[in-house]
């Protein structure tokens, strides 16, 4: 029996996940402005990593689809596009963190279209179904990753991102425009919309409380002192490593509750990382998961 289709978040790359418009002039030496082909200028937008962690933990596949016409304009090669993507992978998956937190990678797949009809470099100087606003990248990703587009979202900073999504079959109500003059200023706000979280007030000092419950609530795995101590130590170590103030931590036999001095999206990301690291430990030690895989 084939697996059930999954839901996904499709993401534009530049000015959605990573900075682009506000990069220094050195980023555009030898290329058209906006053609990010230098990995040293691949920098995440503030809050984007927490947003992606929270969306991933909610059960969404994360798929980047990006137009890279700079290849057709001879500003760089597909290897340069991949180098930028590799740098973003490094920022999204720091080597200081256990590889088991997100399996292989936080982003499940990266699609890039090097074609542009107004360029000179063969064979890329042509229109292509993958080039947004055409739906090709989304359609290919949906087929390759068994994605149900009817329950998926698109997040991007250009209308062409949203048009590509609706052409592929994503409902227009599930396309989210981000940017300084858009309904959602950034990826973090878009994630709050999808996850139905409150938007924090800049005037408020954020404090959030989040809870994890074990897979079988009628059992009491945290009554085992070794498991309880390991989970508690992991939570404190994660708070120290991320610089998030952990103001309260309560463990009962089948549940852990943390109060953190951070907005709700960041707290969800914290718990997602705690869930995955302690699940990996529990699977290795006891042969089973401690927490459900998604909240």
Q: Is 135 among the domain residues?
A: yes
**Cα gap 177→191, rounded to integer Å:** 12
- Whether 6 and 143 have beta carbons less than 8 Å apart is answered as no
> pTM value?
0.89
The verdict on 190 and 216 lying in the same domain is: no
The SS3 assignment for 215 reads coil
**Cα gap 244→236, rounded to integer Å:** 10
- Residue among 61, 81, 73 at smallest CA distance from 11: 61
Last-in-domain residue among 164, 195, 226: 195
The verdict on 164 and 248 lying in the same domain is: no
Number of H helices and number of E strands within the chain?
7, 8
The verdict on 153 and 246 lying in the same domain is: no
Transcribe 69-119 into DSSP letters.
Answer: TTTTTTS--HHHHHHHHHHHHHHHS-TTS-GGGGTT-SS-EEEEE---TT-
> What is the percent of the chain where pLDDT is above 90?
84
How many folded domains does the chain comprise? 2
The verdict on 105 and 238 lying in the same domain is: no
- Whether 12 and 140 have beta carbons less than 8 Å apart is answered as no
The verdict on 68 and 129 lying in the same domain is: yes
The verdict on 191 and 212 lying in the same domain is: no
Question: What pLDDT, in 10s, does the model give residues 193-227?
Answer: 999 997 766 656 689 999 999 987 668 999 999 99
Last-in-domain residue among 166, 195, 224: 195
The verdict on 189 and 259 lying in the same domain is: no
**Cα gap 18→149, rounded to integer Å:** 24
The verdict on 112 and 212 lying in the same domain is: no
- Asked whether the predicted pLDDT for residue 274 surpasses 50, the reply is yes
The verdict on 26 and 117 lying in the same domain is: yes
Arithmetic mean of pLDDT, 241-260: 94
Q: Is 201 among the domain residues?
A: no
Q: What is the pLDDT of residue 198?
A: 78
The verdict on 55 and 176 lying in the same domain is: yes
- Asked whether the predicted pLDDT for residue 192 surpasses 90, the reply is yes
Q: What is the pLDDT of residue 105?
A: 84
Q: What is the pLDDT of residue 99?
A: 41
Q: Which conformational region is residue 283 in: left (phi greater than 0), alpha (psi within -120 to 50 degrees), or beta?
A: alpha
Say which residue, 119 or 129, is predicted with more confidence. Answer: 129
Q: Is 294 among the domain residues?
A: no
Q: Who's near 264: CB < 8 A, 6+ residues apart?
A: 192, 197, 198, 200, 206, 208, 210
The verdict on 116 and 69 lying in the same domain is: yes
What is the layout of strands, in order, in the sheet containing 208-213? 208-213, 255-260, 246-252
Q: Is 67 among the domain residues?
A: yes
Residue 48 tokens, joined: 């984007």
Give the range with max mean pLDDT: 97-111, 116-130, 139-153, 208-222. 139-153
Arithmetic mean of pLDDT, 79-102: 78
Block residue for tokens 């090709």: 136
The SS3 assignment for 129 reads coil
- Asked whether the predicted pLDDT for residue 37 surpasses 80, the reply is yes
Enzyme catalytic residues: 12, 14
Q: Is 295 among the domain residues?
A: no
- Asked whether the predicted pLDDT for residue 98 surpasses 50, the reply is no
Q: What is the pLDDT of residue 201?
A: 64
- Asked whether the predicted pLDDT for residue 95 surpasses 90, the reply is no
List the CATH number of the domain containing 223: 3.30.70
Question: What pLDDT, in 10s, does the model give residues 165-187?
Answer: 999 999 999 999 999 999 899 99
Q: What is the pLDDT of residue 216?
A: 77
Say which residue, 162 or 99, is predicted with more confidence. Answer: 162
Q: Domain residues for 263?
A: 208-286
**How far apart, in Å, do the first and last CA atoms of the chain sit?**
26
List the CATH number of the domain containing 119: 3.40.50.1000
The verdict on 147 and 72 lying in the same domain is: yes
């Amino acid at each position: 029996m084939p697996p059930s289709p999954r839901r996904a978040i499709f993401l534009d790359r530049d000015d959605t996940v990573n900075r682009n418009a506000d990069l220094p002039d050195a980023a555009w030496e030898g290329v058209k402005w906006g053609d990010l082909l230098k990995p040293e200028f691949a920098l995440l937008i503030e809050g984007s990593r927490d947003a992606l962690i929270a969306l991933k933990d909610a059960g969404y596949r994360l798929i980047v689809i990006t137009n890279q016409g700079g290849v057709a304009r001879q500003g760089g090669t597909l290897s340069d596009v991949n180098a930028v993507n590799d740098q973003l992978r490094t920022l999204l998956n720091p080597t200081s963190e256990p590889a088991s937190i997100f399996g292989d990678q936080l982003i499940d797949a990266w699609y890039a279209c090097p074609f542009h009809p107004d360029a000179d470099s063969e064979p890329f100087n042509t229109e292509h179904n993958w080039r947004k606003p055409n739906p090709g990248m989304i359609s290919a990703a949906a087929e390759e990753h068994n994605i149900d587009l009817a329950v998926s979202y698109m997040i991007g900073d250009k209308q062409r991102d949203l048009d590509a999504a609706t052409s592929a079959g994503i409902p227009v109500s599930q396309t989210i425009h981000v940017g300084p003059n858009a309904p959602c200023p950034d990826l973090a706000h878009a994630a709050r919309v999808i996850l139905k979280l409150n938007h924090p007030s800049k005037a408020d000092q954020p404090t959030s409380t989040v809870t994890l419950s074990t897979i079988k609530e009628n059992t009491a795995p945290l009554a085992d002192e070794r498991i309880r101590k390991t989970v508690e130590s992991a939570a404190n170590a994660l708070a120290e490593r991320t610089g998030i103030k952990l103001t309260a931590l309560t463990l009962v036999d089948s549940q852990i509750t943390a109060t953190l001095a951070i907005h709700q999206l960041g707290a969800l990301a914290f718990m997602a990382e705690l869930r995955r690291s302690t699940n990996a430990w529990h699977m290795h030690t006891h042969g089973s998961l401690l927490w459900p895989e998604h909240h």
